[in-house]
Amino acid sequence: MNAVIKRSGLALAIAGVCLTAGTTYASSHREAPFITEIPKVDGTDFYMFRSYEANRENFVTLIANYLPLQDAYGGPNYFDLDEDAIYEIHIDNSGNAREDITFQFQMQDVMNDIQLDIGGEMVSVPLKNIGDATDNANVQMRQEYTVTVIRGDRRTGTRQTATNATTGQGTFAKPLDNIGGKSFADYGAYADQHIFDIAVPGCSTEGKVFVGQRKEAFAVNLGEIFDLVNTNPLGLRDGEGAGDLADKNTTSFALELPSACLTGSAQTASGDPVIGGWTTASVRQARVINPAPTADGKGATVEGGAYTQVSRLGMPLVNEVVIGLKDKDRFNASEPKDDGQFATYVTNPTLPALLEILFAGTAVAPATPRNDLVTAFLTGVPDVNSPEGVTTSEMLRLNPSIPATMAGAQNDLGVLGGDNAGFPNGRRPVDDTVDIALRVVMGALTDDAPNKDAEFTDGVQLDPTELQEVFPYLATPIAGSPNDA
């Protein structure tokens, strides 16, 4: 058997009468309670930047990472995505905190039941693959995906299918995760074969798309931060790796599209275009556990009902260190247009006060209300990426007219480091958003803040040579097996 598995229509009949996901759950890096139960739709990082690959200066790259903390050896199933979910990247190009363009990704499992003759009986094998994993005939289960372009409201707007610009087909193949050297002689080359030219309706120039496993690039001492910031906040930055996430992989949805296909009416006071972006994942409201899954390996659950948002991510670290614990689920189920309800968390933040308590005499919290944080997180920086008449809301904002800084010259402190092509003008993989955020919450943007010039850090710093200088920019994932073939 070698066919795309279809979801049961029974789910529609049972919607609303069984276990529901609800409307108030979401996260990044496991910080909201509910998302720990459904890690396949846990959004971890969102990047949006002007492409700095040679000859791609007129393009913008969007990367949404999901399924955190992947141990490379996580077989035999590894880290496939949820075919009963939708993963979306939203663009606001009018400054009103509502999506104008949505790129919706949906996965499909492709099952190939591989059997061996064991004593005259044909028996299904237990492994993901039985030989060279670049040959689909040797692979039991892989995934494909579609990309739908929605203009207007994400659920009621005009929907069109993006296609493979080479084949004209509406499906794209996702590479298997990096099982190891015996399954893949050259995983990097194999993964690169899954970078496709994409034809986007309404866009005259082709872009690129890739969905697959990548090496984690988020530099953070995760354990230490959540252990009451168990670091030296004014210590040295270590440029040798990604800290606690250095041995982890993630899964990326990556798009590269012409800037002209993303911009709209939103402009800075000087007339530069501004685009806002964020990513979400949604699942069906209803889920029933099937006590007797089908023989093809599927059917463990039956899903139904309307799609309900369970993950949201724009600016990094907002839900992790800004939003109160009781509201983390609610925040991530909300949309940017409704962010006024969370404004107190930004104007009167608790993190600076906690740092002041934890590091008495070293950290001094700036006075409230924190209008500087409203600028950093909710409106954009004036004369950089804040559109005129902007609706206060949390999302990444990018001015694509600001030239990209080439890889070797990028400052990982972004705008704070004098590099206006970096965070918070969008976000690049190299940008050290933890150190930037620590410095900003302690008053780096406020002239009279006691710690305005203090170089706060969590102690780790990504080595930029870990990144690629071409799309999809994030590095080849760590192999599950360290042994040579």
Query: Is 479 domain-assigned?
Result: no
Q: What is the DSSP letter of 476?
A: P
Q: Percent of the chain scored above 70 by pLDDT?
A: 91
Both tokens of 368, joined, read 């409230």
Q: What is the DSSP letter of 403?
A: P
DSSP 246-261: TT-EEEEEEEEEEGGG
Query: Is 471 domain-assigned?
Result: no
Strands, DSSP E only, in 172-230?
172-174, 196-199, 207-215
**Residue 484 confidence (pLDDT):** 72
Instruction: Give per-residue pLDDT as tens, 38-73.
Output: 899 999 999 999 999 999 999 999 999 999 999 999
Instruction: Give per-residue pLDDT as tens, 408-431.
Output: 999 999 999 999 999 999 999 999
Q: What is the DSSP letter of 479?
A: P
**Residue 258 confidence (pLDDT):** 98
Asked if 418 and 411 touch (Cβ cutoff 8 Å), the reply is yes
Instruction: Give per-residue pLDDT as tens, 103-135.
Output: 999 999 999 999 999 999 999 999 999 999 999
Instruction: Give per-residue pLDDT as tens, 347-381.
Output: 999 999 999 999 998 999 999 999 999 998 899 99
Query: Is 30 domain-assigned?
Result: yes
Instruction: Give per-residue pLDDT as tens, 141-199.
Output: 999 999 999 999 999 999 999 999 999 999 999 999 999 999 999 999 999 999 999 99
Asked if 194 and 164 touch (Cβ cutoff 8 Å), the reply is no
**Residue 94 confidence (pLDDT):** 97
Of 297 and 260, which is predicted with more confidence?
A: 260
Both tokens of 177, joined, read 């995760």
Asked if 111 and 296 touch (Cβ cutoff 8 Å), the reply is yes
Instruction: Give per-residue pLDDT as tens, 229-241.
Output: 888 889 888 766 6
**Residue 287 confidence (pLDDT):** 86
Instruction: Give per-residue pLDDT as tens, 147-158.
Output: 999 999 999 999
Instruction: Give per-residue pLDDT as tens, 261-276.
Output: 999 999 999 999 999 9
Distance CA 113, CA 383 (A): 58
Asked if 467 and 428 touch (Cβ cutoff 8 Å), the reply is no
Distance CA 288, CA 233 (A): 47
Q: CB under 8 Å to 436, separation ≥6 — which residues?
A: 413, 414, 416, 423, 424
Instruction: Give per-residue pLDDT as tens, 283-339.
Output: 999 988 888 777 666 678 888 899 999 999 999 988 888 999 899 989 889 999 999
Per the structure, the complete domain to which residue 264 belongs is given by 2-466
Number of domains in the chain: 1
Strands, DSSP E only, in 152-274?
158-161, 163-164, 172-174, 196-199, 207-215, 249-258
Q: Percent of the chain scored above 90 by pLDDT?
A: 77
**Residue 313 confidence (pLDDT):** 94
Instruction: Write b or e for each residue in 423-451: b if 16 or more Cβ atoms lie within 10 A of its Cβ, otherwise e.
Output: bbbbbbbbbbbbbbbbbbbbbbbbeebeb
The pLDDT of residue 27 is above 80: no
**Residue 391 confidence (pLDDT):** 96
Query: Is 77 domain-assigned?
Result: yes
Both tokens of 481, joined, read 């097996």
Strands, DSSP E only, in 113-258?
115-118, 121-124, 141-151, 158-161, 163-164, 172-174, 196-199, 207-215, 249-258
**Residue 299 confidence (pLDDT):** 74
pLDDT category at 16 given cuts 50, 70, 90 is: very low
pLDDT category at 483 given cuts 50, 70, 90 is: confident
**Residue 1 confidence (pLDDT):** 36
**Residue 291 confidence (pLDDT):** 81
Please state the φ and ψ torsions of residue 196, each to the nearest 5 degrees.
-115, 145
Distance CA 149, CA 99 (A): 12
**Residue 292 confidence (pLDDT):** 75
DSSP 343-375: HHHHHS-SHHHHHHHHTTTT--PPPSS-HHHHI
Instruction: Give per-residue pLDDT as tens, 449-470.
Output: 999 999 999 999 999 999 999 9
Both tokens of 403, joined, read 């030239």
The pLDDT of residue 390 is above 70: yes
pLDDT category at 485 given cuts 50, 70, 90 is: low
